[in-house]
Structure 1
Amino acid sequence: MREVDLEVFAADLAAGAFVVDVREPDEYAAGHVPGVHSAPLSAFGSVLDGLPAGRPVYVICASGNRSLWAAEQLAARGVDAISVAGGTAGWARAGRPLASGASA
């Protein structure tokens, strides 16, 4: 399974990467990487149709465990999925900004 570290992820995010956060809504609302889309594992099947075709999809969670599983599931369906190692917790520990509130 493809996985990137936070440095690569930060650069790709700044370049316009499409990212889904697979944490549950309360976790996402408490703090998420700005610009990422909420796609909780509890409703993961419903987001598959909304993923962009023909471009990588980055998957993030709290630490990297759930995102790795979700990226594997997406890859099995033909999506170019990439898990973000370290997750949102690592992003915050590195001093990067977090947004709060529900997704739009």
Structure 2
Amino acid sequence: MFRGPSVPAISVADVKDGAYLLDVREDDEWVAGHAPGAVHMPMMQIPARIAEIPADRDVIVVCRVGGRSAQVVAFLQHNGLERTINLDGGMQHWAAAGRAMVSEDGGAPRVA
């Protein structure tokens, strides 16, 4: 079974407050619920917006379960952004761990 590229990963428990989180999910997923302070950049926009991603600090890339974010980490590392790390389990693990979430639609935050 294809499990995606082998990239550095971090567990939700190891993400420190104030970490740079790059959420690569689609707009509807972001609106439903995301980590406070995360930066939203849908996966398909990454190539055109790569200059917006900091190269001088760790960037934790997150999606729903970790597959899309692993692909983004592989792409970013291939393009010189070596301090990118995949969030293992994505927002599903984030929510399950009870980490803070906010929504953009006025409802209770959720992983969509």
Q: Which TM-score bucket, shorter chain as reference?
A: 0.7 to 0.9
Match of 2:71 among 52, 56, 69: 69
1:81 maps to which residue? 84
3-state SS of 2:57 partner: coil
What percent of counterpart residues are identical?
35
Q: Which residue of 2 aligns with 1:36?
A: 38
SS of the residue corresponding to residue 13 of structure 2 reads helix
Unaligned runs of 5+ in 1: none
Q: Which has the larger radius of gyration?
A: 2
1:68 Cα deviation (Å)?
0.7
| Structure 1 position 94, deviation (Å) | 1.5
Distance 1:30 1:47 in 2: 23
Poorly superposed stretches of 4+, deviation over 4 Å: none
Cross-structure match for 1:7: 13
Instruction: State the superposition RMSD in angstroms.
Output: 1.3
Of 75, 88, 93, 1:90 maps to 93
Q: CA deviation at 1:53?
A: 2.7
Structure 2 length-normalised TM: 0.81
Distance in 2 separating the partners of 1:25 and 1:17: 21
TM-score (norm 1): 0.87
Aligned residue type for 2:47: G
Shift of 1:51: 1.1
Q: The residue matched to 1:58 in structure 2 has which SS?
A: strand
Gaps of 5+ in 2: 1-6, 106-112
